[in-house]
Amino acid sequence: MSIVLALLGALIYGGADFSGGLASRRAPALAVVFGGQLAGTAVLGVLILAVPGRFDAASVLWGAAAGLSGGVALLLFYRSLATGAMTVVAPLTAVMSAIVPVVGGIAFGERPSVLALAGVALAVVAVVLVSAEHGRLPTPAMLRGRAIAGPLLAGAGFGLLFVLLSRAAPDTGFWPLLGARAASLTLFAVVALVARRSLVPRAAPPALVVASGVGDMTANLLFVVASRLGLLSIVGVLLALYPAATVLLAMLLLRERLHPVQVAGLAVAGSGVVLIALG
């Protein structure tokens, strides 16, 4: 069941990323993210009341740490996109976000089977291939100097978000996510205040902003449940397959063509999921 929930979360994450990307073409990314997260918080508030869960201050603090990690990672990611080549930024960020939960899970004592680890390795490769913008992978010459620091740190921050969320007590329901969302919203508000930027995505279609935030929150909810049912080292890497959903949506809705490298990535991802399921 954890594998199914993680894959569903990856699909929804990809849809949220797709919606947020489209909205960010009309309005500043920071405003789109802030507006979307507000919408997602409204959904979370309803679920906290509806789903039983014990309030635990320590678990909420783990969630707050996760929210700060994810918020900083998002800012680093957008900065990297603005100053670097997508060919470098997307694959490096994606692969680090996949690797960190695997390392974290094993460090906390998880011992996936050899078959499952082989599937994890294939999934990490798939993330890199699917994230190849316009089918171009980074060359060795591109992987030098400061250009790679931002993407690597962003990916590590996204992966750390999953690790920190997994440390919350299993009987706390969705309270840790409230801590995560409160921390990230505060971070974005402070950044906007210092940078004197508006947090109102006026030009972006409201439906896209809401879809990005609600989708992101829904995927986080699925991760929390999946990580309590299965191994972080497996669930985290499956969540990191979300770029596959994003490129498929771009193909279906925007008529964008998949490049051979991305098609290969989808095939490798499928093989990895099969091995993980068998393991």
Cα angle 80-187-45, degrees, rounded to a multiple of 5: 120
Within-domain flag for 115: no
Within-domain flag for 22: yes
pTM as predicted: 0.86
Within-domain flag for 263: no
187 vs 260, which has greater pLDDT? 187
Alpha-carbon distance of 248 to 17, in angstroms, equals: 12
Give me the pLDDT at residue 67, please. 94
Within-domain flag for 264: no
Q: What is the pLDDT of residues 195-251, one digit of tens each?
A: 888 888 888 889 999 999 999 899 999 999 999 998 998 998 888 888 888 778 877
Alpha-carbon distance of 191 to 184, in angstroms, equals: 11
Within-domain flag for 47: yes
Give me the pLDDT at residue 89, please. 75
Residue for token digits 């400061």? 146
Domain containing 32 equals 2-105+132-242
Within-domain flag for 113: no
Q: What is the pLDDT of residues 34-43, one digit of tens each?
A: 999 999 998 8
Helix (H, G, I), strand (E, B) or coil at 204: coil
Within-domain flag for 252: no
Within-domain flag for 126: no
- Number of domains forming the structure of the chain: 1
The alpha carbons of the chain give a radius of gyration, in whole angstroms, of 18
151 in Cβ contact with 35 (< 8 Å) = no
